[in-house]
Amino acid sequence: MKLSRLALAITLLPTSLWADDANIDSSEELQAPALVISSGRKAELRKQATTANSVFTRADIERLQPASVPELLQRVPGVQVVQSGGRGSNVSLFIRGTGTAQSLVLIDGQRTGSVSAGGASLQHLSIDQIERIEVLRGSRSALYGADTIGGVVQIFTRRAEGPGLQPRLRLAAGSQGTWERSMGLSGGDQQTRFSLNASLDETQGIDRTGPSYPSDADHDAYRNQAVSFTLSHKLAENLSTGLNVLDQRGKTEYDNPFGRWDTAWNVHPQKPYDHFSLSSTSAWLDWRASELWSSRLEVGHGEDKQESFDKLFPGSEAFNSYRDSASWLNTLTLNDRHNLLVGADYLRDKLHSTTEYSQTSRWNQAGFIQHSYRGERFATELGLRHDKNQQYGSENTFNAALTLPLNARNDLVLSYAEGFRAPTFNDLYSPASWGANPDLQPERSKSYELQWRSQLAEKTRLEASLYRTDVRDLIVYVFDPATFNGSNYNVAEARINGFELTLQQELLGWQHALGASIIDPRDRQTGHTLARRAKRTFSYDLDRQFGAFAVGASWRLASSSYDKLDNQTEIAGHGVLDLRSSWQATPELAFDMKLANLLDKDYSRSLYQYNGQDHGYQEEPLSVKVGLTWTPALQ
C-alpha cells in the first residue's frame, strides 16, 4: 500500500475507532504521519493522543534536509537545542523550559544516554539512519518513569519501505570539507522484512572559539560512521518478532578555552578530542492472543561510551554507560470504547569509568496501568505508575486527561501529569570534590495543560497549548567559599509557564508549517530566568513541488537568553535562514542542494570565558551542500 493512500485511509477513520482497527504492520506505522506511537506506547491516531506531539517521518527528513538530529528538533515548538559550536559539539536539550536530564530520549523504545551526566548524545545520531522521530511535549512519567518532566524524544531506525529489494546509495559534499556517504538495502515480503544501512560522515569543521589559546585556533574536525539493521518476521498469523540494531562511533575534536589545571593550579592549553560510541540493540515479540488481548515483550541493551584524549598530554579519561532493559506491555480492548494498557519495566544502569565512583550500578523496577475511554461526547485517560529504585526507593506518578469535542473540527484537551527526574551517577556517586550527595531525592514536577486542536479548513490544521509546570526539589550545586568546596542539594524550585502554537496549511500549492513558543521559566527563590532558555522561539518552513522539482526555505528565530542563573550575562538572540531544493531527474536518480545560514549570521547559543571575558562559541557560517541519491530498481 502506498504511503499517501495509507495516510488518507487513516485520516478518514471514524474518531470512535482505535488505531489498532487500522490493521497496520510496524513498518507502515512508522511511515504514517497521522499516527503517533510514543504517546501511549502503542500506535494511535495523533488527533486522539492526549500529549502535545510532533512527528517527523522519513519523507519529512528528506524534504527538510537537516544536517543533524539537533537541527531537526529546533523546528518543534517549545524545544530548544543549545550546542557549543558546530557539528558534533555537545548538546543541551530544553523541552518546555526543563533541563537536559529532565527529558527522556529513546532509540527504538530503549533508553539512551549517559548515566553519569544525564542526557543523550543527540549530536552523534546520524540522520541517514533514522526512519522517524516523535517528540512528546509534557511529562509522561506515568508510562515511562524517570526523566520525563519535560517530555520524550523517540527515534526509530530505518525500516523497509515495501516488498521486494530496494537498494539505496547517497553521496553528498559541502563546505568545511564535508563529505557524506550512505548506502542501504531493504526489502522482504508479507512474512519477513529487513533493512540494512551504513553511513560515513566527515567534516573538517570550524574553529568553535574566538579568543582563546593558540592551540584552539585550528578547525575542529568530526567523523561519524554508523550502521543499522532491522528485521521483522511473522511467525504465525497472530505472532511476530523482530530485531533492531544501531551502532555509531567516531571522533570529535573541540576547543577548551578553560585550559587544563595541574596540581599547582597552573593552567595549560590543550588540544582535546573524544572517541565516542553509541549503540542500541533491542528484540521484541508481539502476540495477538485474542481480539481482546495483545501482548508485547521487549528486551534491550544500550551503550554510550566516551573516551577523552589530549594531543598535548598523555593518558585518557573514560565514561562508559551500559543499560539493560526489559518491558512487558499488555493491551486489553475491553470494547469499542474502553482500552486498558498494563505493563512492567526493568532497567539496570552500569558505569565503567577511569574516575572512581562510590557505586557503579543500580536497578529500577516498575509497573504501570493506563485506562482510556472514548465516547461520543468526551474521552478520558487515567494512568498510574509505581517505580522502585535501588538507590532512592519508591516513586508514584499519575496522569489524567479529558478530551472534549466542541464540534467535528475542534477539540479541547485538559490534562494533569506528574513527573520526576532521577539523580544521575554524578549527582549521587561521583567523587566528593565533584559535590556528590548520596542522600539526594528525585526532582518532582506537576504539570497542568490546556490544548486546543482545530481543523480550521480541509488543508489547515491549528494546535495551541497553554501550560504550567512546577518543579520542586531541584538538584543544585551549593558552593562553600570558606572550604572552597561544595555539594549537591535538593533545595531549589522552578515555575515554568508557556504557550505553544503550530499551524500547518496548504495554500496555492505551497506547504506552510509554523511553530511558535513563549515560555517564562523561573527560579522561584530568586525570580531569575533559568539559564540558556530563550523566552521566544519561532520556526517556519515553506515548501513547494513543481513537477520533478521542489524548493523550500526554513527560518528559525530565538530571542535572547542568559548564560547563567544569576542573569548577569546575556546571550544575544539570533535568526537563521536556510534554502533548499531537489530534483527527481529520473525515477532512480535524485539531486538535492541546501544553502544553510544563507545570510551568514554570526551567532552563538552558549558562552565561554577566556582571560576573564565572556565570548560566544561559534556556529556554522554560510555553507552549501550538494548531494545525489540513487535508488536503482531491481527486477
Quick: pLDDT tens for 198-231: 999 999 999 999 999 888 889 999 999 999 999 9
What mean pLDDT do residues 19-30 have? 51
* Residue 13 vs residue 312, higher pLDDT: 312
Question: In whole angstroms, what is the distance from residue 13 CA to residue 528 CA?
Answer: 48
Q: Which domains does the chain carry? A: 3-630 (2.40.170.20)
What pairing do the DSSP bridges indicate for beta strands 607-610 and 313-333? Answer: unpaired
CA-based nearest residue to 115, from 433, 439, 466, 428: 428
Dihedral angle sign, alpha carbons of residues 89, 134, 78, 509: positive
For 513-526, letters b (16+ CB in 10 Å) and e give bbbbbbbebbbeee
Q: Which residues pair with 324 in a beta bridge?
A: 301, 348
Question: In whole angstroms, what is the distance from residue 143 CA to residue 36 CA?
Answer: 15
pLDDT-based confidence at 31, cuts 50/70/90?
A: confident
Question: In whole angstroms, what is the distance from residue 596 CA to residue 411 CA?
Answer: 38
- The average confidence (pLDDT) of the chain is 91
pLDDT-based confidence at 19, cuts 50/70/90?
A: very low
Q: Which residues contact 463 (CB under 8 A, 6 or more apart)?
A: 52, 451, 452, 453, 454, 500, 501, 502, 503
Place of cell 527486477: 635
* Residue 12 vs residue 93, higher pLDDT: 93
Residue 312 corresponds to which cell in the numbers above? Answer: 598535548
Question: In whole angstroms, what is the distance from residue 117 CA to residue 97 CA?
Answer: 19
User: Taking phi first (over 0 means left), then psi (-120 to 50 degrees means alpha), and beta for anything else, what does residue 257 get?
Assistant: alpha
Question: In whole angstroms, what is the distance from residue 270 CA to residue 262 CA?
Answer: 12
* Residue 385 vs residue 189, higher pLDDT: 385
SS3 102: helix
User: To 10 degrees, the CA torsion angle through 79, 224, 114, 262?
Assistant: -110
What mean pLDDT do residues 481-508 have? 88
Amino acid 10: pLDDT:
33
Name the helix (H) or strand (E) containing 143: helix 141-144
- Rg (C-alpha) for the chain, rounded Å, is 24
Question: In whole angstroms, what is the distance from residue 111 CA to residue 304 CA?
Answer: 11
Q: Is the pLDDT of residue 611 over 80?
A: yes
Q: Is the pLDDT of residue 11 over 90?
A: no
Question: In whole angstroms, what is the distance from residue 409 CA to residue 395 CA?
Answer: 39
Name the helix (H) or strand (E) containing 492: strand 485-507
Amino acid 635: pLDDT:
62
Q: Is the pLDDT of residue 3 over 50?
A: no
SS3 625: strand
What pairing do the DSSP bridges indicate for beta strands 91-95 and 79-83? Answer: antiparallel
Place of cell 528565530: 557
| 539-569 per-position pLDDT tens digit | 999 999 999 999 999 999 999 999 998 999 9
| 403-438 per-position pLDDT tens digit | 999 999 999 999 999 999 999 999 999 998 888 999
Q: Is the pLDDT of residue 599 over 80?
A: yes
Q: Tell me phi and psi for residue 3, to 5 degrees.
A: -60, -40
**Which of 268-277, 361-370, 604-613 tops mean pLDDT?**
361-370
SS3 88: coil
Identity of the amino acid at 355? T
pLDDT-based confidence at 16, cuts 50/70/90?
A: very low
pTM flag (> 0.75): yes
